[in-house]
A = this chain, B = another copy of it.
Amino acid sequence: MTPAEPKMTRSQRVRSKALRVASDLFYANGVRAVGMDQIVDISGIAKTTIYRHFPTKDMLIEAFLQAEDAEFWHQWDQAVSGADAGIGELEALCRWIGDRVRRDGYRGCPQINVAAEFADYDHPARAVARSHKAEMLRRLTSICARTGVSNPSVLALQISLLLDGAFMSDGRLNGFDAPAVLIQAVRRIVASG
């Protein structure tokens, strides 16, 4: 994830490292629980420098979610690549997500978590979260349409709710074969469509 490409300038390298350290702390502890001083201590980057790249903490949080968004779709594309169009893509996504939510240190969808922390609907980070979920719904609708069902938008909405529930299942899936549970549910939702 965001490997240090040697083509970057020093400024870009420093910015990248600051964002990476901040993102790890934000995700593991929650954005409000992490202070800028903590990011300074762990990254070894001066506070002045961080504030030159990210003028406010809110903008740093926004950049965190945007990077998570990009990384998410990168992995999404990898998961569906090679899968049969339609139901095959859905199953591939279920396998990917089912594994993802049981990884060590998994603490839910960062977009959802940040949205829960900020009540202000117009907070820039919440705008990123909304567009993330809108994009997910768009992609699921496109896949559902490929399965040939008559009402792909409703089906995609139902599947998106199921997957969001899986994201914040908080360990409830640990006692089960998570991918299988998700695949079975998705199959049944799509089946009689």
The chain A residues found within 8 Å of chain B, CB to CB, are 28-30, 32-33, 107-108, 112-113, 115-119, 129-130, 133, 137, 154, 157-158, 160-166, 168-173, 176, 181, 184-185, 188-189, 191-192
CB contacts (< 8 Å) of A170 on chain B: these are: 115, 129-130, 133
Q: A32-B117, A116-B108 are in contact. Are A185 and B158 (CB under 8 A)?
A: yes
A93 to B169: give the CA distance in the assembly, Å: 20
In contact, A166 and B176 (Cβ under 8 angstroms)? no
Q: A118-B30, A160-B172, A181-B154 are in contact. Are A189 and B189 (CB under 8 A)?
A: yes
Of chain B, the residue at the smallest CB distance from A163 is B165
Please give the count of copies of this chain that the complex contains.
2
In contact, A117 and B119 (Cβ under 8 angstroms)? no
Q: A33-B32, A188-B188, A188-B189 are in contact. Are A161 and B154 (CB under 8 A)?
A: no
**A124 → chain B closest CB, angstroms:** 15
A124 to B69: give the CA distance in the assembly, Å: 31
Besides A32-B33, A160-B165, 7 other CB < 8 A contacts? Answer: A30-B117, A33-B118, A133-B172, A157-B176, A162-B162, A188-B189, A189-B189
Q: A32-B33, A169-B161 are in contact. Are A192 and B191 (CB under 8 A)?
A: yes
In contact, B116 and A112 (Cβ under 8 angstroms)? yes
Top-7 shortest CB links A-B: A161-B165, A165-B165, A164-B165, A116-B116, A158-B185, A113-B116, A32-B32
In contact, B184 and A137 (Cβ under 8 angstroms)? no
CB contacts (< 8 Å) of A28 on chain B: these are: 119
